[in-house]
Amino acid sequence: MAEPLRIALAGLGTVGAGVIRLIETNAALIAARAGRPIEIAAVSARSRSRERGVDLSRFAWVDDMSALATRDDIDVVVELVGGEDGPALALARAAIAGGKGVVTANKAMIAHHGLELAEAAETAGVALRFEAAVAGGIPVIKGLREGTAANAIERVYGILNGTSNYILSTMEATGADFAQTLAEAQRLGYAEADPTFDIEGVDAAHKLAILASIAFGTRLDFAGVDCEGIARVRAADIAQADRLGYVIRLVGLADCEESDTGEARLLQRVKPCLVPRGHPLAHVTGPTNAVVAEGNFSGRLLFQGAGAGGGPTASAVVADLIDIARGEAGAPFSVPVADLVPIGRAEGGERTARTYLRFTVADRPGVLAEMTAAMRDAGVSIESMIQEGRPEEGGEVLVAMVAHEGPERCIRHALSLLADSPSFTDRPLAMQILA
């Protein structure tokens, strides 16, 4: 058998410890599938004394993780520290410059610096792999890079954040409101103490930008992701969606469109949507992730599974290591960075969709007439409307509407006409209905 692939682990949290357990437990299977053993030679983390449930005594301990990049006994550095830049980015840069491959689970670093790192890796002739950065244990990057390589991808979308999905599906099951459900998710460990990146959609946006680049062969554009989180979704919205035959999910979606001049433009958005009960994403509950890719020959493909956790994420990390051991790394973004297409951003205003609108208004005469007049003047056709009083909250009325399919710009115009109205006690919420 060939010489082992020697790796260093930077970061020994849940995923790092999971990588050690997986390599130990499945050592013979991994060696057979990789064509050679994969061995851990060195490790580094903030605290040497912390109990991690794994035996670290067999590995060289390195206090300064940047030193992993210059060790002669290392072929690949596995970065599991996290963070958009800082020590993680410095380590990745140094490892590549030192002729070592890099495997990372760091979606923020790849979303912001992936093209720089990929170009450096291509120049140095080393591997850069990041399967674990998107959707945990689901092999969606491999599926897009390899399984659908012969297809023109028409759109890619899905549930990319387990915390938000847990909150929304729990609100659906219990009838509890957002704040109560978030607190419970934090107590159970499904949400961080600071859940901002999750509930505001930033985590999902990082992942979507990576998927869009691979799916469409375009340059990464995280700044171009239109992002809105779930904090404004109420239990009442979920109840109304249920009556209409939908569930609410935070959906990341990317597709390409052709402008009037024939120029391709990329739409990337992360927003809460109403999903028909018959759609595969409607049945994704809890902290699960799911990604749908639609190819022009493959049709609709669904990738679903655990989007986080030590075991699933470690599985994705080691899968990347097996590919490197086989010599099958390939271009990080499917094609060389020089061949990735710079692409404009699609504005989205001419996109047509049915839309759910929720208004919270004062309970007084004339408010409904004001709302319907704004819809009329903006060219929005109302398909259905439900009004519910809330006397326990000082006479507020919740009005939910579904608008017929029409351009997004019309919805925006209607809301702008109502923006300064004193009748509204909360900002309106608009959610598209996923087709």
Does a structural domain hold residue 385? yes
Angstrom distance (rounded) from CA 36 to CA 152: 35
- Per residue of the chain (435 residues), what is the pLDDT tens digit? 689 999 999 999 999 999 999 999 999 999 999 999 999 999 999 988 888 889 999 999 999 999 999 999 999 999 999 999 999 999 999 999 999 999 999 999 999 999 999 999 999 999 999 999 999 899 999 999 999 999 999 999 999 999 999 999 999 999 999 999 999 999 988 899 999 999 999 999 999 999 999 999 999 999 999 999 999 999 999 999 999 999 999 999 999 987 667 688 999 999 999 999 999 999 999 999 999 999 999 999 999 999 888 999 999 999 999 999 999 878 999 999 999 999 999 988 788 999 999 999 988 888 999 999 999 999 999 999 988 765 555 578 899 999 999 999 999 999 999 999 999 999 999 999 998
Does a structural domain hold residue 313? no
Q: Which secondary structure element, helix H or strand E, spans residue 40, and what is its range?
A: strand 38-44
Q: Can you give the residue range of the structural domain that contains 374?
A: 352-432
Catalytic residue check, 207 = yes
Q: Choose, from 100, 107, 207, 271, the residue flagged as catalytic.
A: 207
Q: What is the CATH number of the domain that holds 411?
A: 3.30.70.260
Residues 165 and 255 in one domain: yes
Does a structural domain hold residue 337? no
List CB contacts of 93: < 8 A, sequence separation 6 or more: 117, 120
Does a structural domain hold residue 15? yes
Q: What is the CATH number of the domain that holds 49?
A: 3.40.50.720
Residues 122 and 25 in one domain: yes
Does a structural domain hold residue 331? no
Residues 373 and 228 in one domain: no
Domain count across the chain: 3
Does a structural domain hold residue 317? no
Residue 364: predicted pLDDT: 84
CA distance from start to end of the chain: 52
Residues 144 and 289 in one domain: yes
Rounded to whole angstroms, what are the CA distances from 53 to 14, 21, 132, 306, 311?
Answer: 10, 9, 22, 22, 14
Residue 374: predicted pLDDT: 96
Strand pairing category for 382-390 and 396-407: antiparallel
Residues 33 and 118 in one domain: yes
Residues 120 and 147 in one domain: no
Residues 295 and 163 in one domain: yes
Does a structural domain hold residue 192? yes
Residues 171 and 207 in one domain: yes
Please state the pTM of the whole predicted model: 0.94
Residues 144 and 105 in one domain: no
Last residue of a domain, one of 273, 291, 306: 306
Cα 40 from chain centroid? 29
Last residue of a domain, one of 103, 133, 163: 133
Residue 204: predicted pLDDT: 98
Q: Which two tokens stand for residue 170?
A: 């729990």
Q: What is the CATH number of the domain that holds 152?
A: 3.30.360.10
List CB contacts of 378: < 8 A, sequence separation 6 or more: 410, 411, 413, 414, 417
Last residue of a domain, one of 87, 108, 133: 133
Q: Say which residue the tokens 């919805």 belong to.
A: 411
Q: Which secondary structure element, helix H or strand E, spans residue 179, and what is its range?
A: helix 178-188
